[in-house]
């Protein structure tokens, strides 16, 4: 490993202090303990961060004896980042402050544009309007999330199913050229996992699986606080883990992928084969919660598929838990309970595997997109 020079070391220490304060308000003494830096070093770094307007002195901590120390907090207005979520339905564009609060979010229909360039021209004008008050030093850049597969490092959307409009398009460069700021691109489920780690249920888990169940199944895996990417950035495609060696052929080339059974349209189709008709997952869960035993059976079937795939991930990575996101967060208690019961594997004998719903508040699509840029600013490993 290359040794850092003194300027790099200084920047690294400053990032570490800022990251600690980002996670929770801390006193100077807390920071010295967390980072292992001396009190004098902490004082110097904190003075610099306060002078730059990045952190402020907030409330006093509760102290059992003596004078209670002042807690340091990130100043929300110090920087802003924009988030753009691209989906099959349309676009959500918004701004997020340094504390992860979505200050504005706008939704646009997908069918308004003839080409990706036309869509980007329009979105840039909108971005200009939204960021009018936040340009200059305070604006960090734009994070974009989109369905996979995509090449995050190259900033290019590849060939997501049912999203031919953006096929093989270098969206990050195209936006950076128009806007002149850093632009990051990431798979929507992975970005959600990263945001969950920074702001949601993942803060308490450390290593977890973010399981996004919608019209498809997406996933992100965070290991010891770092988003797992794999060799080419395509890691954690749990939707394409097989749950049946002899199952139907998937578009990915594998057989029996869990998405073929447990994506929302597919589980509703399964309900139909059982003589039931539900217009949505929400209607199915409402019926199950209302005492409809057949509907509950379908939710149990969904839990069986998801548990089979999730157990593979838990076994491979020794994960502390599974965070549900997407459509299945609707009245999630039943599904979460069934998953906890059904998830087997070796870890089960060591400790319980927690299953919970995403704890991201506000517009998670905008937050997780903008957070790609915020994470860079805080020096997090993306
Ligand atoms: Zn597949």
Give 256-276 pLDDT, tens digit per residue: 999 999 999 999 999 999 999
CA of 89 to the centre of ligand 1 (A): 22
CA of 258 to the centre of ligand 1 (A): 8
Longest dimension (CA), the chain: 71
Q: Give the chain's domains with CATH numbers.
A: 6-74 (1.10.10.10), 78-192+364-377 (3.30.420.40), 202-357 (3.30.420.40)
Residues with CB under 5 A from ligand 1 (ion): 240, 250, 252, 254, 257
Cα distances from 58 to residues 70, 75, 85, 306, in angstroms, run 6, 10, 33, 44
State the Cα–Cα distance between residues 270 and 301, nearest whole angstrom.
9
- Could you check whether the bond before residue 237 is cis, i.e. omega within 30 degrees of 0? no
CA of 250 to the centre of ligand 1 (A): 4
Write down the pTM of the prediction.
Answer: 0.92
Residues near 73 by beta carbon (within 8 Å), at least 6 away in sequence: 21, 25, 55, 56, 57, 58
CA of 19 to the centre of ligand 1 (A): 37
DSSP for 304-372 reads: HHHHHHHHHHHHHHT-SEEEEEEGGGTTTHHHHHHHHHH--SGGGGTSPPEEEE----S-HHHHHHHHH
CA of 256 to the centre of ligand 1 (A): 7
Mean pLDDT in consecutive groups of 10 residues from the start of the chain, 382 residues: 78 91 92 94 95 91 80 94 94 95 93 92 93 76 94 94 92 94 95 96 94 96 93 88 96 95 98 97 98 98 97 93 97 97 83 93 93 89 49
CA of 259 to the centre of ligand 1 (A): 7
CA of 227 to the centre of ligand 1 (A): 22
CA of 253 to the centre of ligand 1 (A): 6
pLDDT at 346: 79
CA of 160 to the centre of ligand 1 (A): 13
Model confidence pLDDT, tens digit, residues 194-213:
999 999 999 999 999 999 99
CA of 149 to the centre of ligand 1 (A): 12
CA of 240 to the centre of ligand 1 (A): 4
CA of 326 to the centre of ligand 1 (A): 19
State the Cα–Cα distance between residues 251 and 70, nearest whole angstrom.
57
pLDDT at 134: 65
Cα distances from 124 to residues 54, 112, 191, in angstroms, run 27, 15, 22
> End-to-end alpha-carbon separation of the chain, Å?
19
Phi-psi region of 187 (alpha: psi -120 to 50; beta: other; left: phi over 0): beta
pLDDT at 380: 61
CA of 201 to the centre of ligand 1 (A): 28
CA of 233 to the centre of ligand 1 (A): 17
pLDDT at 111: 84
State the Cα–Cα distance between residues 360 and 382, nearest whole angstrom.
18
In a 13 Å sphere around the CA of 116, the CA atoms on its Cβ side amount to 18
Tokens, residue 148: 């996979």
Tokens, residue 221: 């895996």
CB 187 within 8 A of CB 147: yes
CA of 5 to the centre of ligand 1 (A): 46
CA of 242 to the centre of ligand 1 (A): 7
């Amino acid at each position: 490993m290359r040794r850092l020079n003194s300027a790099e070391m200084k920047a690294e220490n400053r990032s570490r202090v800022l990251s600690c304060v980002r996670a929770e308000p801390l006193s100077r003494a807390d920071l010295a303990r967390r980072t292992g830096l001396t009190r004098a070093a902490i004082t110097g770094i904190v003075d610099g961060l306060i002078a730059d307007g990045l952190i402020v002195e907030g409330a006093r901590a509760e102290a059992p004896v003596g004078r209670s120390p002042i807690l340091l907090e990130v100043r929300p207005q110090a920087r802003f980042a924009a988030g753009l979520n691209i989906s099959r339905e349309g676009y959500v564009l918004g701004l997020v402050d340094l504390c992860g609060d979505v200050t504005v979010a706008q939704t646009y229909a997908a069918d308004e544009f003839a080409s990706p360039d036309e869509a980007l021209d329009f979105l840039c004008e909108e971005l200009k309007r939204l960021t009018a008050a936040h340009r200059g030093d305070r604006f960090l850049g734009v994070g974009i999330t989109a369905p996979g597969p995509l090449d995050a490092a190259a900033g290019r959307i590849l060939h997501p199913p049912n999203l031919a409009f953006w096929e093989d398009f270098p969206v990050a460069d195209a936006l950076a050229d128009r806007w002149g700021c850093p632009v990051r691109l990431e798979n929507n489920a992975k970005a959600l996992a990263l945001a969950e780690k920074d702001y949601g249920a993942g803060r308490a888990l450390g290593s977890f699986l973010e399981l996004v169940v919608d019209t498809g199944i997406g996933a992100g895996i965070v290991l010891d606080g770092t988003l797992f990417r794999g060799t080419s950035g395509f890691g954690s495609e749990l939707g394409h883990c097989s749950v049946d060696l002899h199952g139907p052929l998937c578009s990915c080339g594998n057989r029996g992928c869990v998405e073929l059974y447990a994506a929302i349209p597919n589980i509703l189709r399964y309900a139909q084969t059982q003589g039931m008709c539900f217009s949505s997952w929400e209607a199915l869960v409402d019926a199950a919660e209302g005492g409809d035993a057949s509907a509950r059976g379908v939710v149990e079937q969904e839990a069986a598929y998801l548990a089979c795939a999730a157990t593979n991930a838990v076994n491979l990575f020794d994960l502390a838990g599974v965070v549900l996101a997407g459509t299945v967060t609707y009245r999630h208690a039943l599904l979460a309970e069934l998953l906890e019961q059904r998830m087997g594997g070796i870890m089960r004998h060591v400790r319980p595997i927690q299953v919970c719903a995403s704890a991201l508040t506000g517009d998670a699509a905008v937050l997780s997109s903008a957070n790609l840029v915020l994470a860079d600013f805080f020096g997090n490993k993306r």
